[in-house]
Structure 1
Amino acid sequence: MAILLQTEAVERARLIAGISYTVDLDLTLGDTEFGSRTVVRFSCSEPGASTFIDLKAVSVESITLNGNDIHPSAISDGRLTLTQLQHANELSVTARMAYTRDGQGLHRAVDPADEKAYVYGMSFLDAAPQIFPCFDQPDLKAAYDLTVTAPQDWVVAGNSAAKQTSPGRWEFETSKPLATYFFTICAGPYETVRDEHRGIPLALHARASLGQDLRRHAPQMLDVTKQGLDYFEDLFGIDYPWGEYHQFFVPEFNAGAMENPGCVTFRDQYIFRGSVGRAEIMQRSNTILHEMAHMWFGDLVSMKWWDDLWLNESFAEYMAHRACSAATEFDDAWVDFGISRKNWGYAADRAPSTHPIAGNAADDTDSALTNFDGISYAKGCSALRQLALYVGDDAFVGGVRDYLRDHSYGNATLADFLDAISAHTDVDLDAWSKGWLETAGTDEIAVVVDGDPIGVVEAVRTTPEAHPADRPHMLDIAGFCGGKEVWRTPVFTLGATSGEETPLTGLERPKLLVPNASDLTWTIPVFDDNTLAAMPDELPKVEDPQVRQVVWAGLLNGMALSTVDPQTVLAVFEASFPTEENESLRHWTARLVRRRLGYFLPDAERQEATERIAVAATVALGAADAERVVTPGRLLAATSSDEGLLRRWVAAEDLPDAFAGDLDVRWTALTRLAQLGRADDAAIDEFAAQDRTMAGEQNALRAKAVRPTPEAKEWAWTQLESNAALSNYEALAIAETIFVAPSSELVRPHVERYFRVLPKLADRLGEFASQKIAAAAFPVGVTEQATSDAAQEALRSGRMTANVRRAIVDGTAELDEALASLQRFGR
């Protein structure tokens, strides 16, 4: 299919205006296709001109433009050419479209728990033409009149209010102006929980087999929804603009969620079916608020072109954490942001594929998607947080209100946003924008002290050599002894390398020196040797969770940059995990250390490291109260080598009470047994028979692929390479464990196969899914120079989409970081 160039979009927007769509979808035509009848009305500024509309159909029954028939052969490469346009035009298209299994377009999934089918629309980024013909670019907004025919027992919802006019027939109110990438329709025998808040109808939906879990979680999700609506309406000074507010938890969703106006879609793993910890509830709550923030910033006011996609996501990321912290029970949301989202962003910002937050020329839709990453989310959020500090919160909020009011139901640019902020402050934002938004890379900030007792404290900033920048930082630095804060001082750093000296005379030299102690800015904290040596003893005693989070940021990023020994990271984890009280820090350090530490250690030390992590999990589990056993319990199930314990847990024996009825922790234990070579196909199939759900099927694939035998790895590769029936989630499940092995020897022969097979998946599973699968399967565990060389050769000579290429570039960067660490610290 043709990729839309920005130059083509500009020209089409110059010609076309006044668009409206009348769309009629028939979802009763079978399991593979649906009917799409569309009338598009639009004006043309130059009668007689030509343009094109985007259409990706299986077959086309008829096309008429202004009463004249057009032969379907006029469609080429996903585009229908429109010639001899009049001032007012009417295009009518009747077509059949394909349901997908890759999470884009109109995705259809069958729940094996009850064989019920569910569909949902995902039009982002360029998938709307897989549902109906449209001028598919963000600045050609339009109103929609939608009708849908569906099976009579189905729930149907979309971007505006709908009513069932006859059995299986649904009519929607005319929508407010929408960009095409926001169009959605969700339909199926969904379970629904309804509520209302200040006149806004609210609804939560999930698959019928998740109905019990939906009802269990609904009160908390509805509370957060109401708190968010109140907070954002008050902050922005604009009432919620989209009428009803539906939240659908849908199967096999590629992202966390999608901000379709009035009808948000989420991955249905957020309807936790087993035990769940506070960190996961916070993550879901934050996602709910992130998508809600988009209802104003992104939906009400949309970008003109994809090069400003970062602003949508950075803003929603910032506002979600701000609202979560201020308006919900999760007042430690910024701690969660620092340990989870920022570490994702830091990794993206030090990779070869790094890019500025803004100013990235997206010449086409394909290149736009490659910058949809931790820089656009986490780093952009941090930049906006700095902007609010830099100009003052009143000026920031005043500018946001003006921006939303002045561009409602339209499109705007970064320049429009900065102009709105500038109107409320005398601060020059040009220099700020150049430093923060238009340069790549992450500064490092260290603390230097002079004298003992201290005479002077200085924050020293170093910019990346490859990406010099002069960006100001507003932050603080702090010192700790025995876990107690002995001093803290604000610092404003300027200049390329150094900040201001801050006199703090007569104070003792602390054992821990922590730059950016409140985590107010985007920087990697650098610790001196004394601080690193003291961390295993000192960090567990520090009372402030935000400081503990900043320390972990410095440790994990220092390990990636070869400035911190991986054994130091392991030692700090062993000392701090059993006593960590903040659930976000527990949850995310367990995930990050378990996932990344092994690659930075020689093969011979990896098993011992896993055993030490399991011991820390055992100690933490033994000391945890009933509400805090989830994270250490799951970590123990994933790392223990105690076959007896794992078998008892698989059999639901001796499990902590919090895991009663939890199939997922039992799957984790079974997968660990399979990884140890103690569970065969028969054992996996026997357990899968108890869990005939989508999650059960995916867990079974994951467990079979992780087995440490040549036959198991060959089976896994055959599935990825040849099984066209795999959904996006099933392929991802296999990819996640295909290179997990007790030694590199077992999987080394498949490194070449990765670079041959994975790029081809984009032809079958689309851009979103194939990028995730390529990232999950990247052979970083074969931590050898030959793997890096093979990756570089594939990047030089292989054919791959831009997003698969990005996944391989980033995977290679992580591999090269591990190789550098092994060279420096390997024993």
Structure 2
Amino acid sequence: MPGANLTRVEAQERASIVSNPQYKVSLDLAQGSQSFLSQVEVSFDSMKRGASTYLDLIASQVTLVELNGVSLDPEDVYRDSRIELKGLKTHNVVKISAICDYSRTGEGLHRSVDPTDGHVYLYSQFEVPDARRVYAVFDQPDLKATFDFSVVAPESWTVLANMPVESTESIEQQTEPGTLEKAPAQSCKRWVFKTTPKMSSYLTAICAGPYAEWTTQYANEDGRTLPMGLYCRQSLKEALDKDVEYLFDITQKGFAFYAKTWGVPYPYAKYDQVFVPEYNAGAMENIGLVTFRDQYIFESKATGAKINRRVETVLHEQAHMWFGDLVTMKWWNDLWLNESFAEYMSTLATAEATDWDSDWATFCSGEKSWALREDQLPTTHPIVAPINDLHDTEVNFDGITYAKGASVLKQLVAYVGREQFFEGIHNYLDKHAYGNATLADLLAELEATSGRDLKAWSAQWLEQSGINTLSSKLSVDADGTINSLCIEQSASDEFPVLRPHRLAVGFYNMNAQGKVVRTERFELDINGESTQVAAVVGKRKPDFILINDDDLTYAKLRLDGDSLKFAQENLYRFEDPLARAVILLSFWDMTRDGEYPAADFVALVLKTLSTERQSTTFRYALSQLDTTAHQYTAIEQRPEILQQVAEGLWHLAEQAEAGSDEQFQLVEAYLGYGDDQDFEDHVHAMLNGSSDLVGIEVDNNMRWSLIHALASQNMVSDEEIQAELDKRDTTENREFAMGARAARPVKAAKAWAWDQALHNAELTNSQIGALADGFSASGDEDLFATYIDKFFSCVDWVWAHKTFHIAETLLNPLSAGGLYPYKADPATLVHAGEHWLSEHEGAPNALRGMIIQNVESSKRTLRVRTYNEGLRK
């Protein structure tokens, strides 16, 4: 893990010295395929004359350091990714020249070569500490500065930065002495960009390459005409062109919604969105230059869930322009606030400003289930987590930071009132524009507008770990009249805090058409161990009672006995997609906790899928079905259940509307089983066009899904996979082919995938991910038995020799994917993992966290499987 690990104390000390920084950054991207020239002039004031400080830089070579006109020997002042600056004056000017390396890992300045046409594409990714991989910088969020960028690149390229271009000029290429290779002769151009407003370094960005381009304008709410652009690789131009109008429309709706909701127009000079290859994240909120993973460009048919997610992602990054970019956290401990707020607002905007009006059901099924899963791990942490250094941030880009935080913000809006909440947000943005702020600053504004005391609320919701369970206890007279409805709240022994909740109770009944609909709703505050719902006393008991109706609060739910039974039999009849999502999530949580039989959950999901139309709920139900059938069922019952699921999915696909999203998802899910006798015939029939299943188009991605499915059952050879790739060699298809080869459930395939993922330095981050996922996702316990010791033996080496994102891909903290052999015997995995942890008590928190989560996943599998095996005795 290269680079000095900046601590919070060091950042505070540096901020007490450095003020008013300004940067002039010149990058020469025409120096070859390995490295580029970075030249920086930094001017800043020192609040302590004679003090010392340092710039952050990760470079292969520093060729010039000049402080206030005095040349310094780079070997004397550059070490451990820091350039030491001593004897500061009141005003200082530093000049740095360095040779920096392109990345293949999606960090810093990533360089990708598209095999389709040989074009080269560059893009930057700087969050958290990676601007220093491209230029010398005070790389911390509270040292906001202005930036002047100029970039030399091949003349045929497009170069983008945070601000519009001020000028361009053609120049003669010059190869810098000290670069690793002699660049081929080519015509070059220098792009000079306008000066940025004050901003944090992690939000600066550069994209360069022969990107395809579309432009339009937006009539901004402050009277300006705002230039907007969309960009992608040339090989994806045709695919994106079909969606350009739609994406521009979504973006414009986002601008209008946010400006109206907060009363603050979009503050920056332009808004470009660039779809880039081999991207680690979903997207990044660089000011005026948002980058997205280009898997969001759909060459092949995509699920509604994925299209919905793209809309959310566009609106998530757009929300950051105000919350995170205009007003930025002082230190990374408030990272959660940036991400949680953008997650909450993007869901709200998607539901209220686009055609995806069931997006709160999407949030419940996707984001909230992610939060519940991570909040029940030993690695859970408060939403406001202590961040003592940069390494601590590595453990906090997680379901607590994003999804739990957004769930709690939804609860906060219910608690203080929507109008009061957004009035407070307006005041916060207005007061701290172009500066830095803290959670305390935000809560002060919300207290002023709502009249609620949020210090106690924050202490319980934001500063304490863990999740509460809400259970409904119902008492009914013989004639069906309710005489008591009590909501009981409990907490774990480890995190015994009880919280205030603003929630709703919904009454649901089956109507004459056989649909279950809400007939009454009651909203109230609850607190403590027990709260009586006085408003329902004397009313007739409905068919079903939902105690977190509209999903206002964040908690685990346990339904009363009659409601549980009714939902088990009739969930597929519920009309409201959000109610269905909340109820299904409760059943899933019970299944994961070993409180509901796996076989019953399988039956429930298969029945529910027959009528479910909310795409993300559908997607997550299929995922939960997969985990339950493959991991949680009793071993002796598993073959029977896997066959039941495979046949059930195929039958549902036959019954689904031809060409529908549901049919598409059902077929994709079916391909993950291979447990029915017709599997090979079904797959080959779809491949050769003879299938009786009407409506499935075998496009590029579906074809690779079919190849992968055959590979995972050892029904296709490496040679056949290579022949398929040779038909169309693209970035995406190379990844598909690697994943398919790794998925073959034979020793040779797993050994090859293991070696390639760990030791092939030519692979991209995305190729490594495809290999790791293919390695772990197919095969039986015996096949993975030898990889238990191999995994724990290589952990230290991976951490020492790979960047954080590659280490995360390989060591993967979740149950599926990565090189963790989660399909091996869970008891043996737990034993080996606990031994590693006991031997590595001093390991970095991020590394220990990954291993702890892996071990906990195996513990849960063992625990839930044991519960289901006990039901058969």
TM-score range relative to shorter protein = over 0.9
> For 1:580-629, what per-residue CA distance to the aligned partner results, in whole angstroms no more than 9, with x for missing partners?
12222112211332245422124444444333333332233223333333
Q: 1:652/1:51 Cα in 2 relative to 1: closer, same or farther (>3 Å)?
A: farther
Q: 1:652/1:364 Cα in 2 relative to 1: closer, same or farther (>3 Å)?
A: farther
Check if 1:662 corresponds to 2:687: no
In structure 2, the residue matched to 1:254 is 280
Give, in angstroms, the shift of residue 808 of structure 1: 2.0
Give, in angstroms, the shift of residue 111 of structure 1: 1.1
Distance in 1 (CA, whole Å) between partners of 2:634 and 2:104 is: 40
> For 1:359-407, what per-residue CA distance to the aligned partner results, in whole angstroms no more than 9, with x for missing partners?
x221101112212211111111111111111111111111100110111
Q: Mean alpha-carbon deviation: is it higher for 524-533 or for 195-204?
A: 524-533
Q: Mean alpha-carbon deviation: is it higher for 568-577 or for 130-139?
A: 568-577
In structure 2, the residue matched to 1:186 is 207
Check if 1:791 corresponds to 2:833: yes
> Is contact 1:22-1:146 (8 Å) kept?
yes
In structure 2, the residue matched to 1:598 is 630
Q: Mean alpha-carbon deviation: is it higher for 475-484 or for 7-16?
A: 475-484
Distance in 1 (CA, whole Å) between partners of 2:637 and 2:299 is: 36
Give, in angstroms, the shift of residue 735 of structure 1: 1.2
Q: Which amino acid aligns with 1:143?
A: T
Q: 1:762/1:726 Cα in 2 relative to 1: closer, same or farther (>3 Å)?
A: farther
Distance in 1 (CA, whole Å) between partners of 2:576 and 2:121 is: 46
Aligned with residue 519 of structure 1, among 541, 546, 551: 551
> Is contact 2:351-2:359 (8 Å) kept?
yes
> For 1:491-535, what per-residue CA distance to the aligned partner results, in whole angstroms no more than 9, with x for missing partners?
535333212233535655455443212111101111345444444
Distance in 1 (CA, whole Å) between partners of 2:639 and 2:165 is: 57
> Is contact 1:156-1:187 (8 Å) kept?
yes
In structure 2, the residue matched to 1:377 is 402
Check if 1:779 corresponds to 2:821: yes
Q: 1:528/1:680 Cα in 2 relative to 1: closer, same or farther (>3 Å)?
A: farther
> Is contact 2:489-2:498 (8 Å) kept?
no
Q: 1:113/1:741 Cα in 2 relative to 1: closer, same or farther (>3 Å)?
A: same
Q: 1:528/1:751 Cα in 2 relative to 1: closer, same or farther (>3 Å)?
A: farther
Q: Which amino acid aligns with 2:449?
A: H
In structure 2, the residue matched to 1:435 is 460
1:164-179 correspondence runs (5 A): 165-167=168-170, 168-179=189-200
Check if 1:728 corresponds to 2:755: no
Aligned with residue 620 of structure 2, among 545, 565, 588: 588
Distance in 1 (CA, whole Å) between partners of 2:693 and 2:681 is: 16
Q: Which amino acid aligns with 2:630?
A: G
Q: 1:513/1:663 Cα in 2 relative to 1: closer, same or farther (>3 Å)?
A: same
Give, in angstroms, the shift of residue 644 of structure 1: 1.4
Q: Mean alpha-carbon deviation: is it higher for 689-698 or for 36-45?
A: 689-698
Distance in 2 (CA, whole Å) between partners of 1:669 and 1:133 is: 48
Distance in 2 (CA, whole Å) between partners of 1:435 and 1:388 is: 16
In structure 2, the residue matched to 1:105 is 108
Q: 1:83/1:801 Cα in 2 relative to 1: closer, same or farther (>3 Å)?
A: same
Distance in 2 (CA, whole Å) between partners of 1:513 and 1:819 is: 33
SS in 2 for 1:19: strand
Give, in angstroms, the shift of residue 478 of structure 1: 3.0
Q: 1:681/1:421 Cα in 2 relative to 1: closer, same or farther (>3 Å)?
A: same
Q: Which amino acid aligns with 2:476?
A: G
> For 1:652-680, what per-residue CA distance to the aligned partner results, in whole angstroms no more than 9, with x for missing partners?
55386765362111111111111111111
Distance in 2 (CA, whole Å) between partners of 1:783 and 1:769 is: 26
> Is contact 1:728-1:765 (8 Å) kept?
no
Q: Mean alpha-carbon deviation: is it higher for 594-603 or for 583-592?
A: 594-603
1:48-87 correspondence runs (5 A): 48-73=50-75, 74-87=77-90
In structure 1, the residue matched to 2:222 is none
Q: Which amino acid aligns with 1:275?
A: K
Distance in 2 (CA, whole Å) between partners of 1:759 and 1:216 is: 46
Check if 1:416 corresponds to 2:459: no
1:709-728 correspondence runs (5 A): 709-728=746-765
Identity %: 32
> Is contact 1:101-1:728 (8 Å) kept?
yes
Aligned with residue 272 of structure 1, among 276, 279, 298: 298
Aligned length: 826
Cα-Cα RMSD: 1.9
Distance in 2 (CA, whole Å) between partners of 1:666 and 1:608 is: 28
1:110-129 correspondence runs (5 A): 110-129=113-132
> For 1:22-54, what per-residue CA distance to the aligned partner results, in whole angstroms no more than 9, with x for missing partners?
001011111110110110000101111101110
In structure 1, the residue matched to 2:248 is 222
> Is contact 1:275-1:658 (8 Å) kept?
no
Distance in 2 (CA, whole Å) between partners of 1:180 and 1:123 is: 8
Distance in 1 (CA, whole Å) between partners of 2:865 and 2:36 is: 54
Give, in angstroms, the shift of residue 63 of structure 1: 1.0
Q: 1:651/1:36 Cα in 2 relative to 1: closer, same or farther (>3 Å)?
A: farther
Aligned with residue 635 of structure 1, among 666, 669, 694: 669
> Is contact 1:455-1:505 (8 Å) kept?
yes
Q: 1:357/1:250 Cα in 2 relative to 1: closer, same or farther (>3 Å)?
A: same
In structure 2, the residue matched to 1:407 is 432
Normalising to structure 1: TM-score of the pair? 0.97
SS in 1 for 2:103: coil
In structure 2, the residue matched to 1:538 is 570
Q: 1:480/1:273 Cα in 2 relative to 1: closer, same or farther (>3 Å)?
A: same
Q: Mean alpha-carbon deviation: is it higher for 771-780 or for 14-23?
A: 771-780
Check if 1:281 corresponds to 2:307: yes
> For 1:338-360, what per-residue CA distance to the aligned partner results, in whole angstroms no more than 9, with x for missing partners?
000011111111110111111x2
Give, in angstroms, the shift of residue 326 of structure 1: 1.0
Distance in 1 (CA, whole Å) between partners of 2:721 and 2:538 is: 65
In structure 1, the residue matched to 2:328 is 302
Check if 1:237 corresponds to 2:240: no
> For 1:278-299, what per-residue CA distance to the aligned partner results, in whole angstroms no more than 9, with x for missing partners?
2211110000000000000000
Aligned with residue 477 of structure 1, among 483, 505, 512: 505
> Is contact 1:536-1:575 (8 Å) kept?
no
Give, in angstroms, the shift of residue 737 of structure 1: 2.5
Q: Mean alpha-carbon deviation: is it higher for 169-178 or for 792-801?
A: 792-801
Provide structure 2 residue ranges, at least 5 long, that are not aligned to the other structure.
171-188, 220-224
Give, in angstroms, the shift of residue 481 of structure 1: 4.7
Check if 1:821 corresponds to 2:867: no
> Is contact 1:577-1:616 (8 Å) kept?
no
> Is contact 1:194-1:202 (8 Å) kept?
yes
> Is contact 1:27-1:150 (8 Å) kept?
yes
> For 1:681-725, what per-residue CA distance to the aligned partner results, in whole angstroms no more than 9, with x for missing partners?
011111112231111111111111111111111111111232122
Normalising to structure 2: TM-score of the pair? 0.92
Distance in 1 (CA, whole Å) between partners of 2:753 and 2:638 is: 24
> Is contact 1:339-1:588 (8 Å) kept?
yes
Check if 1:467 corresponds to 2:495: yes
Q: Which amino acid aligns with 2:159?
A: V
Distance in 2 (CA, whole Å) between partners of 1:178 and 1:655 is: 58
> For 1:98-135, what per-residue CA distance to the aligned partner results, in whole angstroms no more than 9, with x for missing partners?
00111100011111111211110111101111000000
Give, in angstroms, the shift of residue 177 of structure 1: 1.1
In structure 1, the residue matched to 2:145 is 142
> Is contact 2:19-2:45 (8 Å) kept?
yes
Aligned with residue 702 of structure 1, among 739, 746, 749: 739
Give, in angstroms, the shift of residue 241 of structure 1: 1.2
Q: 1:800/1:704 Cα in 2 relative to 1: closer, same or farther (>3 Å)?
A: farther
Q: 1:427/1:262 Cα in 2 relative to 1: closer, same or farther (>3 Å)?
A: same
Q: Which amino acid aligns with 1:779?
A: P
SS in 1 for 2:863: helix
Q: 1:669/1:178 Cα in 2 relative to 1: closer, same or farther (>3 Å)?
A: same
> Is contact 2:598-2:628 (8 Å) kept?
no
Check if 1:565 corresponds to 2:622: no
Distance in 1 (CA, whole Å) between partners of 2:112 and 2:684 is: 33
